Amino acid sequence: MARYAMIMAGGSGTRLWPMSRAAMPKQLVPFINGRSLLELAGERIAGLVPAERRLVCAADAYRNQVLAAVPGLEPRNFLGEPIGRDTLNAVGFTAAVLAARDADAVFCVLTADHVITPQATFEACMQTGFALIEADPSRFATFAIAPNHPSTAYGYIEFGDPVPGFAPAVRCKRFVEKPNIKRAQEFMTSGRFGWNSGMFVLHAGTVLRAIERFCPANHAGIMRIRDAAATGGNVSHAVAAVYQHLPKVSVDVALMEPASVDASLSVATVPMPVDWKDVGSWPSWGSTLPADEAGNRGSCHAVHLDSTNIIVASDDPEHLVATIGLDHVVIVRTKDATLVCRADMAEQVKDLVARLPSPLR
């Protein structure tokens, strides 16, 4: 079986406005020590599979930017979506293309949302995930992050019995989507749950069969893409014809949840003991930076007087941002827009963006 890797780089990143815009979404913004999340994801898979087996699935409008951000990415390995239809269809699109090229393709699914260290631990866990699928192609492999607080923003995976011969992998008993705070506290205290990382290792043929079984409304369109790829047809035309009609659904809800309780399938989970940051909001972006003695973080010139836990970002590192007497505030400055908000309300930035005129989105 040949190993492949796919990075999902979709999403608009509206919670990271005003740096993340329609023309330059968060995965392409160079705001992680001067590099983009997509660049980091491309480097993350470099040691896992050869360059010719690395794919990126993203909006077709960003084709040139993505190819520039991931060195060695072959144009045929850019999977352009004409419209975002959630993660099941991105995974199904990838499985369709790979199954047409290689009947025994096994691929890992990563996202351009994460900052993960150390690299060696990440790679070791991925190697275990690949080995799990190579030993049993009917499996799905997932990866769990040890919770460091009772988050209600992530899904959880409940751990079952060990998978013999593949330590530290365990069987996945169930997925729980974004629990309330009481349940999240119980999950964390029990030690039997991990955060669902959104990363997987899958056999392309198994994915297509599972979509047929659990999501028949998506299956026909995805198979049209597979058939076009297998016969040398125009894959882009097939994608354009079917994509807007595919029901929007996440891969977790559509495949992982039913597979985890289905007797004919199995889901294995590899605990991943890494420093994992899902950069989806300004507070999570701030967590990638060192803090001063007052908890202030930033990527530009800032001076604070009696201010604590301030997050500051600017597209001009020489621009001075000064604060007095503030606490838990986010300040983001760009050449044409400035955001100031309470850190505990940062999730509502996406609601603010919806009220803006389109040139500023």
Determine the pLDDT at residue 133.
Answer: 98
Mean pLDDT within 261-287: 94
**Is there a single domain that holds both residue 271 and residue 310?**
no
Identify the CATH number of the domain in which residue 221 sits.
3.90.550.10
Determine the pLDDT at residue 289.
Answer: 96
**Is there a single domain that holds both residue 104 and residue 90?**
yes
Q: Give the amino acid at 259.
A: A
**Is there a single domain that holds both residue 113 and residue 247?**
yes
Can you tell me the distance from the alpha carbon of 299 to that of 290, in angstroms, rounded to the nearest whole number? Answer: 10
Residue 320: name the closest of 301, 306, 344 by CA. 301
Can you tell me the distance from the alpha carbon of 261 to that of 323, in angstroms, rounded to the nearest whole number? Answer: 53
Q: Of 278, 300, 330, which residue constitutes the final position of a domain?
A: 278
Domain count, the chain: 2
**Is there a single domain that holds both residue 209 and residue 291?**
no
**Is there a single domain that holds both residue 243 and residue 108?**
yes
Determine the pLDDT at residue 265.
Answer: 83
pLDDT > 90? residue 66: yes
**Is there a single domain that holds both residue 266 and residue 155?**
yes
Q: How confident is the model at residue 123 (pLDDT cuts 50, 70, 90)?
A: very high
| Distances from the Cα of 11 to the Cα of 71, 85, 126, 166, 200, angstroms | 21, 10, 24, 34, 18
pLDDT in tens, 45-65: 999 999 999 999 999 999 999
pLDDT > 90? residue 40: yes
Q: By residue range, what is the domain housing residue 336?
A: 282-360
Determine the pLDDT at residue 28.
Answer: 97
**Is there a single domain that holds both residue 144 and residue 31?**
yes
Mean pLDDT, all residues of the chain:
96
Q: Of 249, 278, 307, which residue constitutes the final position of a domain?
A: 278
pLDDT > 90? residue 318: no
Q: If DSSP codes are grouped into helix, strand and coil, which group holds residue 288?
A: coil
Determine the pLDDT at residue 263.
Answer: 78
Determine the pLDDT at residue 120.
Answer: 97
**Is there a single domain that holds both residue 111 and residue 80?**
yes
Q: Are 256 and 267 in contact (CB under 8 A)?
A: yes
Can you tell me the distance from the alpha carbon of 285 to that of 266, in angstroms, rounded to the nearest whole number? Answer: 35
**Is there a single domain that holds both residue 184 and residue 306?**
no
Q: Of 278, 313, 331, which residue constitutes the final position of a domain?
A: 278
Determine the pLDDT at residue 264.
Answer: 78
**Is there a single domain that holds both residue 270 and residue 139?**
yes
pLDDT > 90? residue 29: yes
Q: How far apart are the first and last CA of the chain?
A: 44
**Is there a single domain that holds both residue 244 and residue 145?**
yes
Phi, psi of 279 (to 5 degrees): -85, 85
pLDDT in tens, 171-207: 999 999 889 999 999 999 999 999 999 999 999 999 9
Q: Give burial (CB, 10 Å; 0-12/13-18/19+) of 267.
A: buried
**Is there a single domain that holds both residue 176 and residue 321?**
no
